[in-house]
Structure 1
Amino acid sequence: MPRLPALSGSALVLLGAVCWSLNSPLVKYLTLDPFLICGLRSLIAGLVLLPFVRPREIAWNRYLLAYVLAYCALCLSVIVSLSLTSAAIAIGMQYTATIWLFLLYWFQTRYFSRRAFLPVAVIMSGVVCFMLSGGSGDSHPLGNLIALTEGIFFAGMSLASKKATRTNALGITAIGNLFTALAVFVLFPTARAALPAMDGQEWGLMLILGVVQVAGGYGFFNLGVQKIPARKASVLALWEMILGPLWVALFLHQYPGSMVLAGFAIILAGMVLDAKGAVKK
């Protein structure tokens, strides 16, 4: 039987972004406690990927600890910021990871590349347009501050994933999700209390979110980031922002506003600039 060709790092990250984007239409059918959604989908993802945990292929070092903590902090910061500020800001801030990774590269090399900075600046302009589309009436300074940390945690997760393993990316994805589920259900009793009241439809949607959006999304991302630089992976991950509203428009007939469309156009322009810069290198 012929073997299937191995996917490139870019293709794997794009598959991860596709899986993540399915959250947008599916979560609109859920009225569950946000912490229950966060904990339960992480638990499902961790259990699905548990067979891939092969201890000898995982580096049990500070980088694994950094990955687990950064992933858990990312999940919790998104949920907490959603309760305090606009959804557009809470979701969009995690993609400021691109600028944090650029600044880290600049700090490490002491070299400022205008060619590399231009697409980052353009992409961030598009992310800002997307976040402004959510309005500011329901935003809160504390929520905005918590949301600001999301990009740092996303960047830390991406960098630590490379150091924790190069052969068992699905294993560390399982460990990160099981730790996150444990943290959520221990720290937030409301999540545990809401479990018995779930009906069949809610369990079905949570299974899809756990298996596809979380296990598939972060599994593909961690596989991809082993093959390509974290900064490039953070740029490709932006496809989630574009595809999520597209699925909502196609399946729920809820259409994005002009600011969202402008943000998408600017992000795509930045991606094209980034791709051209990579080709020239």
Structure 2
Amino acid sequence: MTRNKGILYLALCAALWSTAGVFIKLIDWNSLVIGGFRSAIAAAVLWIVLWRRGTPRPVWNRSTLLTGLCLGGTTALFVMANKLTTAANAIVLQSANPVFVLLFCAMGRGQRITRRDLTVVAVVMLGVVLFFVDDLSPGGLLGNTVALLSAVLLAAAFLFASSAASLHETMSGVLIGHLLSALIGVPFLFLEPPVFTPVSVGAILFLGVFQLGIPYVLFSYAARVCPPLAISLIGMLEPIFSPIWVAIFVGEIPGPLALTGGVIVIITLCLWCACNARQAGNTGAPS
């Protein structure tokens, strides 16, 4: 596993994560129940991978618990934010997580924040804001605060996942996070019992296996070779890919500002990755 392959895995993760919007629209259930079911299925996928690797028992230690708590908390807070503010506000504010990654790396790891990294983070965030500017709203203070907290937890999850001692630990932390999300969401089915139809069952299986389960297996591998900032920035492709699927399957075409923002994000990330790869080649470091 090289860093370049890890970045490719992360881009594939972002593409698969972004299919959530299309398939969630097919399920007429409480959002917490949807989140709980898909996380339970994703946890099963991760456990199967661990079992196939000969390590079926997840590791329970400080690192995996912190990763799991942060991932589970991110999911719960993001669902809450979507109920308390607009979806665009929630996405844009959660997309601030690279800023917190930089801060955590500087404070917790003593890493120097370079001007290039700051510029890339600022430009990518500008692109995301442009992408959703037509739907942004100044209201929903509580929801906006919750969305920002989800960005903080997501940044922390990236740091804990990338600093785990082994792939087994990284995957265990992600598995624990999905188990926590399932524990939070599934009990709500007793308050609002879901109606199981062939379409809803098919959609929730897709969400659990292909939108969360397999991507988080790829994420676990990528986190072994990619630094937290790379994980965070490549993950910003998710909100850009999402409207593409909506345009293809629903017919909703993004406006000019949204398209401009998407192009800015993609070009900036491509240039940043190319620059890092060239720098690694010049120094003889593994890419």
Global fold match (TM > 0.5): yes
Please give the alpha-carbon distance, in whole angstroms, between the structure 2 residues aligned to 1:53 and 1:175: 13
Instruction: Quote the sequence identity (%).
Output: 27
Closer, same or farther: CA 111–229 of 1 in aligned 2, 3 Å: closer
- Does the 8 Å CA contact 1:235/1:271 hold for their aligned counterparts? yes
Deviating more after overlay: 224-233 vs 237-246: 237-246
Q: Secondary structure at the match of 1:194?
A: coil
Structure 1 residue 29 and structure 2 residue 26: aligned?
A: yes
Please give the alpha-carbon distance, in whole angstroms, between the structure 1 residues aligned to 2:217 and 2:153: 17
- Letter aligned with residue 128 of structure 1: V
- Letter aligned with residue 156 of structure 1: A
Q: Secondary structure at the match of 2:191?
A: helix
What is the CA RMSD across the aligned residues, in angstroms? 2.5
The alpha carbon displacement at 1:225 in A equals: 1.1
- Letter aligned with residue 142 of structure 2: L
Q: Secondary structure at the match of 2:60?
A: coil
In the other structure, the counterpart of 1:184 is: 185
The alpha carbon displacement at 1:20 in A equals: 0.3
Please give the alpha-carbon distance, in whole angstroms, between the structure 1 residues aligned to 2:277 and 2:163: 26
Please give the alpha-carbon distance, in whole angstroms, between the structure 2 residues aligned to 1:236 and 1:103: 18
- Letter aligned with residue 16 of structure 1: C
What's the TM-score, normalizing by structure 1? 0.87
Please give the alpha-carbon distance, in whole angstroms, between the structure 2 residues aligned to 1:110 and 1:161: 17
In the other structure, the counterpart of 1:119 is: 120
What's the TM-score, normalizing by structure 2? 0.86
In the other structure, the counterpart of 1:45 is: 42
Please give the alpha-carbon distance, in whole angstroms, between the structure 1 residues aligned to 2:3 and 2:210: 20
- Name structure 1 gaps, 5 residues minimum: none
Please give the alpha-carbon distance, in whole angstroms, between the structure 1 residues aligned to 2:244 and 2:19: 10
Q: How does 1:1-281 map to 2 (within 5 A)?
A: 8-53=5-50, 59-107=59-107, 108-109=109-110, 111-136=112-137, 139-168=139-168, 169-186=170-187, 189=188, 191-281=189-279
- Name structure 2 gaps, 5 residues minimum: 280-287
Please give the alpha-carbon distance, in whole angstroms, between the structure 2 residues aligned to 1:250 and 1:60: 42
The alpha carbon displacement at 1:59 in A equals: 4.5
The alpha carbon displacement at 1:34 in A equals: 0.6
